[in-house]
């Protein structure tokens, strides 16, 4: 990334009305996936926060480290090289620009489709390796976190007494599942405090449009979630665990019982943050609607729509905009 001048930093979004050291969320719900009775705790966490952390997930550390080290190598390459793998439209390398509607953040990233057809050639040539090496590193990691997502979604369905328990997980398992994977690198920004005295936004506030997101980061803080009391709270990093977000589609499928969690990432003035996120989505043609067994005699809060329609609308508005409101029944 470029060295920041005062003028350059002034164009970046900062956190308004924030104190410089936000409080840490020390009570993040922790779900131990090795315990079968965790299903009720998952439901509770999805209702209260739309967010929780999982431990004992069985993803081999080797998959995490291999992919992380390829990502570090990629992001350490000269900008002129990295730009050859861009722009992110939506897939590819992106630098500061998020989406197509003017959002920016102190971040560079790689956005990939989890589809087997995805072309790794550009990334591989920058790293000087065979495309199959990169494909294998991404596939090993993504297959493992997809399995974690499906296990969680099945425990969730059991916790909600839904039969069959694969109602949600089958959407991710579908060969046409429209899932994406992103690697975010937030370089340290030493100029933050000197120039602004405030917190600089790495990735602006938003909810994830898909069903479920699984995030793993290095040991650098930055992730914040918005609590229902309106306070932003920092999530202590934990490189050996995964953080799970309820996405907009799961909010709709539970008729609003679970809320998709608003989150954002703040840039760090000293350390660089690296995160990898799997966004589990349904096939494009899938109708996203509340499950009949969760309606409890109530009407659906949402108009009927397909994942394709939702995604299309998502890409026409800004990151922080409330996308679901466009699909709510008036």
The residues annotated as belonging to the active site are: 273
Tokens of 98: 């998020």
Q: Is the Cα torsion angle 50, 56, 59, 64 positive or negative in sign?
A: positive
Listed in sequence order, the residues at least 6 apart from 37 whose beta carbon sits closer than 8 Å to its beta carbon are: none
The binding track of 223-262 with respect to ligand GA4, each residue x by CB under 6 A or -, is: ----------------------------------------
Site membership for ligand GA4, residue 146 (CB under 6 A): no
Q: How far is the CB of 103 from ligand GA4 (least distance, A)?
A: 5
Site membership for ligand GA4, residue 209 (CB under 6 A): yes
User: Strand 287-288 and strand 305-306: pairing?
Assistant: antiparallel
- Of the ranges 15-23, 47-55, 169-177, 312-320, which one interacts with ligand GA4 (CB under 6 A)? 312-320
Tokens of 310: 């939702």
Cβ proximity to ligand GA4, 68 vs 103, nearer residue: 103
Round to whole Å and give the CA distance between 155 and 209.
21
Phi, psi of 212 (to 5 degrees): -145, 145
Site membership for ligand GA4, residue 276 (CB under 6 A): no
Cβ proximity to ligand GA4, 38 vs 179, nearer residue: 179
Cβ proximity to ligand GA4, 94 vs 290, nearer residue: 94
Binds ligand GA4 by CB under 6 A, chosen from 98, 142, 265, 324: 98
Phi/psi class of residue 255: alpha, beta or left (left: φ > 0; alpha: ψ in -120 to 50)? left
Q: How far is the CB of 326 from ligand GA4 (least distance, A)?
A: 12
Q: How far is the CB of 207 from ligand GA4 (least distance, A)?
A: 8
The binding track of 39-78 with respect to ligand GA4, each residue x by CB under 6 A or -, is: ----------------------------------------
Round to whole Å and give the CA distance between 52 and 31.
7
Cβ proximity to ligand GA4, 24 vs 315, nearer residue: 315
Q: How far is CA 184 from the centre of its chain?
A: 10
Residue with tokens 């591989």: 124
Round to whole Å and give the CA distance between 246 and 207.
9
State which of positions 149-208 bind ligand GA4 (CB under 6 A): 180, 182, 206, 208
Q: What is the DSSP string of 260-305?
A: PPPEEEE--SSS-EEEEEEEE--BTT-EE---GGG-TTPPPSB--E
Helices 39-48 and 131-159 pack at an angle, to 10 degrees, of 90
Cβ proximity to ligand GA4, 169 vs 245, nearer residue: 245
Residue with tokens 């709510």: 328
Q: What is the DSSP string of 205-262?
A: EE--SSSEEEEEE-S---EEEE-TTS-EEEPPP-TTSEEEEE-HHHHHHTTTSS-PPP
Q: How many residues bind ligand GA4 (CB under 6 A)?
A: 15
Site membership for ligand GA4, residue 280 (CB under 6 A): no
Site membership for ligand GA4, residue 315 (CB under 6 A): yes
Cβ proximity to ligand GA4, 33 vs 283, nearer residue: 283
Binds ligand GA4 by CB under 6 A, chosen from 243, 279, 302, 307: 279
Binds ligand GA4 by CB under 6 A, chosen from 103, 178, 248, 286: 103
Q: How far is the CB of 98 from ligand GA4 (least distance, A)?
A: 5
Cβ proximity to ligand GA4, 157 vs 214, nearer residue: 214
**Residue ranges that bind ligand GA4, judged by CB under 6 A:** 90, 98-99, 101, 103, 111, 180, 182, 206, 208-209, 279, 314-315, 319
């Amino acid at each position: 990334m470029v060295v920041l001048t005062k003028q350059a930093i002034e164009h970046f979004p900062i956190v308004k009305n924030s104190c410089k050291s936000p409080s840490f969320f020390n009570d993040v719900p922790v779900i131990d996936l090795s315990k079968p009775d965790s299903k009720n705790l998952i439901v509770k966490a999805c209702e209260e926060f739309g967010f929780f952390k999982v431990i004992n997930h069985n993803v081999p550390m080797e998959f995490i480290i291999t992919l992380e080290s390829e990502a570090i190598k990629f992001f350490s390459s000269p900008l002129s090289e990295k730009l050859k793998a861009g722009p992110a439209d939506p897939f590819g390398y992106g630098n500061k620009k998020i989406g197509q509607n003017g959002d920016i953040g102190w971040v560079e990233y790689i956005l990939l489709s989890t589809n087997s057809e995805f072309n790794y050639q550009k990334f591989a040539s920058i790293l000087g390796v065979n495309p199959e090496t990169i494909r294998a590193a991404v596939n090993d990691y993504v297959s493992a976190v997809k399995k974690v997502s499906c296990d969680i979604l099945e425990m969730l369905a059991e916790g909600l007494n839904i039969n069959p328990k694969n109602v949600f997980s089958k959407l991710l398992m579908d060969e046409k599942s429209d899932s994406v994977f992103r690697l975010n690198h937030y370089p340290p920004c030493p100029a933050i405090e000197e120039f602004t005295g405030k917190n600089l936004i790495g990735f602006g506030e938003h909810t994830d449009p898909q069903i479920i997101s699984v995030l793993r980061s290095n040991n650098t803080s930055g992730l914040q979630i918005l609590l229902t009391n309106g306070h932003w709270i920092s999530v202590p990093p934990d490189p050996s665990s995964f953080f799970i977000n309820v996405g907009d589609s799961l909010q709709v499928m539970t008729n609003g019982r679970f809320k998709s969690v608003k989150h954002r990432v703040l840039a760090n003035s000293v350390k660089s943050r690296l995160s990898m996120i799997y966004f589990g989505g349904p096939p494009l043609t899938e109708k996203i609607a509340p499950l009949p067994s969760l309606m409890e005699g109530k009407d659906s809060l949402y108009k009927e729509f397909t994942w394709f329609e939702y995604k299309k609308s998502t890409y026409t508005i800004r990151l922080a905009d409330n996308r679901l409101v466009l699909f709510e029944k008036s």
